[in-house]
Amino acid sequence: MESIWFKPEFSNEIIQNPDILDQTQNVITDIISGRIEITTLVENMAGVLTSKEVDNREKGMRFFTKILMELPQDYLSDIQIKFISKFYVDRLKDNHKIIPTVLEGYLAVIDMKNYNMQNCGEFFTTLFREVPCQSQVRQDRYHIYLTVQKLLERDVNYIKTLGPDFVYGVISSIEGERDPRNLLFLFNFIPIFLKHVPLGHLTEEMFDVISCYYPIDFHPSPNDPAAVTRQDLASALIPCLCAVPEFAEHCLVLLVEKLDSSLRVAKIDSLKLLAESCKTFTTESYKPFLKTLWSSIHREITHKTDNELKMAAHEALSALVSKLATTVNTDQEFENFVKGIIISIQTALAGSTTASQFSQSSKILLTTANASKESCYLVVKCMVPAISAYYEFKTSSKLQIASIEFLGDLYDLAKHWNVLQDLNENIDVIVQLCLLAVSQTTSNYQIAGFRTIIKMADVIKSNLILPFVEVLTYNVQHSQDSELLKISVEAIHAIATYNPEMIMNLVVKGKCDLNNLTEDKINLQKRLNLLSNLASIDDFTKLIIEEMLKIITENEESAPKVIEALNEAISDTTLYTEEKITEIESDHGLIDSVINWLLREIKLGTCEESYNHGFTLIANTISSLPSDKQHQILLKYTNELIDLCKTNDLNFLVIESLYLSIHENLYDLVIKDIMTLSLRLSLNSDNDTVRLKACVLVAHFLNKVEHGQKFDFLYELLKDYLSSCRRDDLSLCPRLIQLYAWITKALVMRSSGQFLFWLEKILVSITNEDYAKEGAEAIRLIVTDFQEYLSRRQHCRITPFYKQRMFQSFSNLTGKLDLLNSEVKEYYLLSWAYILEKTPKSVLNNHPNRILVSITNEDYAKEGAEAIRLIVTDFQEYLSRRQHCRITPFYKQRMFQSFSNLTGKLDLLNSEVKEYYLLSWAYILEKTPKSVLNNHPNRVSCLVIDGLEYDNKELLQVMLDVLCHYVQAKHVTVADSLQTILPRLIKLSTYVKSMMYVSSFENERRALAKLRVGSEPFGGDV
C-alpha cells in the first residue's frame, strides 16, 4: 500500500496528525530510493503550505524543514536547491509565525553541497526588507547571524559583490542586539566580516553600532549554569573596534575618552583596546593622539594599588612603542615619543625617595626598552649615564642597590635586542659601577653587583676580571653570609665560563690551591662548594673531579665534605646536565668511588647522617645515566650488596640508592630478590631509616614496572609475602600501615585501580583508636609530594589528577563509616585535613557538604571554619597560574552559591558552633565579589546582623565591610533592619577588645542614621 505522502491528501494528514514529524525518516528513505521526487512531495504538500490558516502553514513548513535538515547534504541537485531556495525566499514574506521555521530551513539549504551562492542575493534582499531582525526572538536572530556567517565562509568574493545594500542590511540586523550569547557570537564574527567585506561610506555607521556596547556593562544571571561573563564579552568586543584601519580615528577618539573615565573597567578595556589596535591601525593614525595617550598611560601605570590596571597600561605602552618604532627611519615621531617618556621618568626617578618608587618608574623604562630594538637603544644610551650619576648622587643604600639592579635589567634587554655593539661605552660604565658596588663591605651591595656581573660575564674586559675575582675568592674563604656565598660561587662560575684559563690560574690553582685542598680545615667546605660548581665547566671537569675522588678514596676525614659538595652541585640540574653527569661517571667512575666509601663507612659504623649525601649522590647520578649504563652498574654490585645485607641492614641503603632511579625497562629477574629483601626489611628491620627506604623502594618498583605480566608478577609477590606475615604480632601494625601508605601512593600515582584495596586497609587503621594516629600519617604521606621519592627525576609514573582521585575515593569510603569515638574522630578529621590541604580547590568546590559536617560539630567547628578559609583563599605559592594550575574564573561565586544552598538546610546551632559557622560565612563573603553579594542582600544581611553579636576580630572585620558595602549601595534590606543593627553597633563599640573598630562603627552609625530619617529608605530605584 502506497504511503500517504505519495498522494495529494498528504496535506490533510500533516494538518490532522500531531505525530507526523515522526514520519520524516520514512519520507527521506523514499526520496533517496527514487520512489518520490522532492518536487512531487512539495506538490502533495501544496494544500498545507498554501493554507489560509497560519498554523497549518507553519506545520507544513516545519515538516518540510525537518526533511531538508535530515536529507544527505549531497543529495539534491543545484536545480532542486534553486527551486527550494526560491520557495523559502517567498516564505519570508509570510506571517511572523512562519519566519522561525523558514530561517531554520534556509540554514539547512545553504549547507547543501550543490547550493549556488547566486541564490543568496535574493534571500538577503528579501530578508532585510521583510524581516526586522530585532523583532524576532533570540534564537531566530541567531539563525540570521549564522546564515550570514556561513555564506561568507562559503564564498567571500560573491558576498563582496552584494554591495552596500547588503552591508546596510547586516548593520541594521545587528543594531540593538541585547542578548549576551548572540552578542558573543557577533563579536567573534564581526572582525572576520569586516576584514573581508568593504564598508565604503557605511564605515561610521558600522563603528557606531559596535561602539555603543563599549565598555561592556553586564552582569550575568546567578542562576545561569553556563552564563556568558562580562569578561567574555569585553574580550570579544575589543577586536571588533579595531578590526580595520578605517576605524582608527573613531576608535582612538573613543578610547581616549574612556581612559579619562572614572570607571575602572572602562580604563582597563581601553588600555587593552589600545594594545590590540596596534596590530591593525597605521602609525599615522596615532600621531594626533600621542601626547594624550602617554599622559593617560602614565597616570594609570603609576597607580598605587591596582595591579591589573598597571599591567594593562604596561602592555598598552609596549604595543604603542613597538608600533611607532616601525617608522623610525621615516620621521621623528617615534624618537620624540620615546625621549618624552625618558624625560618624564628621569624626573620621577630623581624624585624617588624609596626603592618601591624607583622600581615603579624604572619598570616603565624597561617596558619601553623591551618594546623594540630602536627603543631599547635609546633608553639604554640615555639611562646608563643618568643612573651612574644617580648612584653617586643618592646616598640611600636601597636606592643605590635598586639602580644597580636596573642597570642589569637594561643590559639584559640590550643583549636581547642585539644592540650591545653600539653601546660599548655604556656597558663599560655598568661594569665599573658593579665593581664599585662589590667593593663595598655591605653584603647587599655585593649581592646586587654580582647579580648584574653574572649577566655581563661575557663582556667583562680582562683587566677588570682580577679585581672581581679577588673579592669573590675572599667571600668564598671568609664570608658567613649564605646568600653572598651562593652568589659569589655563581659569579665565579659565570666568569669562568668565558675566561676558563684565567680562573684556573687565579682560583683553582691559586686561591683555592687544589693540590693542597685539605690543609685549610676551616674553609674546606666553602672551597669544595666552589670547586664542585666549577667542575660542571668542561675545562675544569677532569682536574677537579679527579682531585675530589682522590680525597674520597684517601682522606677519611675530608671525604664526607667532598661527598656533600658534589651532591649539592650535581643535584642542581641547571649546572649539571644528564649528559655531563654521564660523562663524569664514564670517565672517572664516580659511583664506584662513592659506593666504596659508603661500604667502608658502614663497616666502620660511623654516624648514619654522614651517609645521606652519598646515597643521594648515587641516586641522582644513576637517574642521569642511560639504561645500558644503569644495567652495567646494577650487575656489578647487586649480588655483593645482597650478601652484605645479611650481616648489616644498613647496606640495604646502598641498594636503595642504586635502584631508586632506574628506568622502567630494567626490571629483570634480579628484581625478585631485591623486592623480597625490601619487603622483609620494611617490616623486620630495627633501623627506622632502613624500614622507610625499604618501603620507598617497594613503592618505586610497583610504580615503574611495566603494566601487564611484570606488574602482575611483582604484585602477586607482594601479596604472597604479606599473607605469610604473622597476624598475631601487633608490633608489626604501625610498620604495615607505613608500607600500605607507600603502596597506595605508588599505585594511585600510576592510576592503578588496585590502590583502593590498600586505602581500605589504611581506613581500617584510622577507625581503630590504637592505630588512628598512624593511619592519619599514612594519608598525609600519600597526598604529599616528595622531591627525593616518586618524582619524575626518578623516572616514576605520575598521573596529573591523582590527588583528585584520592579525594574522591577517600570521600566515598569514609561516607560508609559508622559513629566514631572522640579520639578516633580527631585522627579521622586530621586525615581529612591532610587530603583537603592537597586537593585542588576546584574539586573542593564540588563537595562542600563533606566539610560542612565538621562545622556543625562543636568539637571541630573551628577546624571546619579553617577549612572554609583555606578553600576560598588564594595562595601565590600553591594552586596558582604560575604553577600552571587550572583556575576557573568564578569558583568563589560557585562556592558562595553552594555553601548558601547547603547551609540553608541546617537546623538550630548552639552559640559556640554558630560563631564558627558565621566565621565560615565571613571567609566566603570576604572573597566573594561584591557584584554577587548584591544579588543576595536578604540572605547575606541576616548573616551580617547575626555576626555583630560576637566579639570575634576576623568575623567583625568582614561583616562590617559587607555592611558598609550595603549601606553605600543603598540596599533596602539594611534600612529595614535598622532597629536591630544600631543597638548591636553601639554595644560593640563599648567593648575594650573592640575599641579599634570604634571609628568604623561610628561611620556606620552616622550613615545608617541618615537612612533612617529619610522619608523613603533610599529615594529611587535600587
Q: What is the pLDDT of residue 1011?
A: 46
Neighbour tally for 131: CB within 10 Å: 19
What torsion do the CA atoms of 984, 985, 991, 995 make, to the nearest 10 degrees?
Answer: 170
* pLDDT-based confidence at residue 910 (cuts at 50, 70, 90): low
Question: Is the Cα dihedral 449, 455, 456, 458 positive or negative?
Answer: positive
- Cα 1004 to chain centroid, rounded: 39
Neighbour tally for 858: CB within 10 Å: 14
409-to-39, 365, 456, 1020 alpha-carbon distances in Å: 76, 10, 11, 55
Least confident of 49-63, 386-400, 406-420: 386-400
Q: What is the pLDDT of residue 799?
A: 80
Higher pLDDT, 391 or 896: 391
Share of the chain above pLDDT 70, in %: 84
- Look at residue 1013 and tell me whether its pLDDT is greater than 80: no
Residue reference for cell 506571517: 95
Run of H or E residues at 648: none
The answer to whether the beta carbons of residues 748 and 806 sit under 8 Å apart is: yes
Cβ neighbors of 586 (< 8 A, separation 6 or more) are: 629
Share of the chain above pLDDT 90, in %: 34
State mean pLDDT over 659-671.
74
* pLDDT-based confidence at residue 191 (cuts at 50, 70, 90): very high
Question: Is the Cα dihedral 104, 106, 109, 111 positive or negative?
Answer: negative
Q: What is the pLDDT of residue 649?
A: 87
Considering only CA atoms, which of 707, 836, 835, 671 is closest in space to residue 762?
835
Where helices occur in 51-91 by DSSP H, the ranges are: 54-70, 78-91
Higher pLDDT, 677 or 856: 677
- Look at residue 128 and tell me whether its pLDDT is greater than 80: yes
Q: What is the pLDDT of residue 120?
A: 95
Retrieve residue 801's grid coordinates.
Answer: 589528577
- Look at residue 883 and tell me whether its pLDDT is greater than 60: no
Higher pLDDT, 714 or 969: 714
Pairwise CA distance, residues 219 & 233, whole Å = 11
Looking at residue 112, its amino acid is: M
Higher pLDDT, 215 or 828: 215
Q: What is the pLDDT of residue 1012?
A: 45
Residue reference for cell 568574493: 157
> 747 — phi, psi (to 5°)?
-75, -45
Pairwise CA distance, residues 955 & 967, whole Å = 18
Q: What is the pLDDT of residue 337?
A: 95
Residue reference for cell 621615516: 330
The answer to whether the beta carbons of residues 418 and 373 sit under 8 Å apart is: yes
Neighbour tally for 770: CB within 10 Å: 12
* pLDDT-based confidence at residue 104 (cuts at 50, 70, 90): very high
The model carries a pTM of 0.67
Where helices occur in 351-461 by DSSP H, the ranges are: 355-371, 373-393, 397-416, 424-438, 443-455
Highest averaged pLDDT of the listed ranges 339-343, 651-655, 853-857: 339-343
Q: What is the pLDDT of residue 993?
A: 44
Least confident of 100-109, 461-470, 895-904: 895-904
Pairwise CA distance, residues 798 & 781, whole Å = 15
Run of H or E residues at 290: helix 290-301
Looking at residue 465, its amino acid is: I
Looking at residue 829, its amino acid is: L
Higher pLDDT, 442 or 898: 442
Considering only CA atoms, which of 653, 613, 625, 442 is closest in space to residue 528?
613
Q: What is the pLDDT of residue 178?
A: 92
- Look at residue 983 and tell me whether its pLDDT is greater than 50: yes
- Look at residue 875 and tell me whether its pLDDT is greater than 60: yes
Neighbour tally for 445: CB within 10 Å: 19
Considering only CA atoms, which of 660, 614, 616 is closest in space to residue 634?
660
- Look at residue 132 and tell me whether its pLDDT is greater than 70: yes
Higher pLDDT, 603 or 253: 253
Burial 707-724 (b: 16+ CB within 10 A, else e): eeebbebbbebbeebeee
* pLDDT-based confidence at residue 528 (cuts at 50, 70, 90): confident
Pairwise CA distance, residues 287 & 331, whole Å = 11
> 521 — phi, psi (to 5°)?
-70, -35
The DSSP annotation for 507-556 comes to IIIIIS-GGGGGG-SSSHHHHHHHHHHHTTSHHHHHHHHHHHHHHHHH-T
- Look at residue 659 and tell me whether its pLDDT is greater than 50: yes
Q: What is the pLDDT of residue 996?
A: 42
- Look at residue 1021 and tell me whether its pLDDT is greater than 70: no
What torsion do the CA atoms of 836, 841, 846, 852 make, to the nearest 10 degrees?
Answer: 50
Per-residue model confidence as pLDDT tens digits over 712-727: 888 888 888 888 876 6
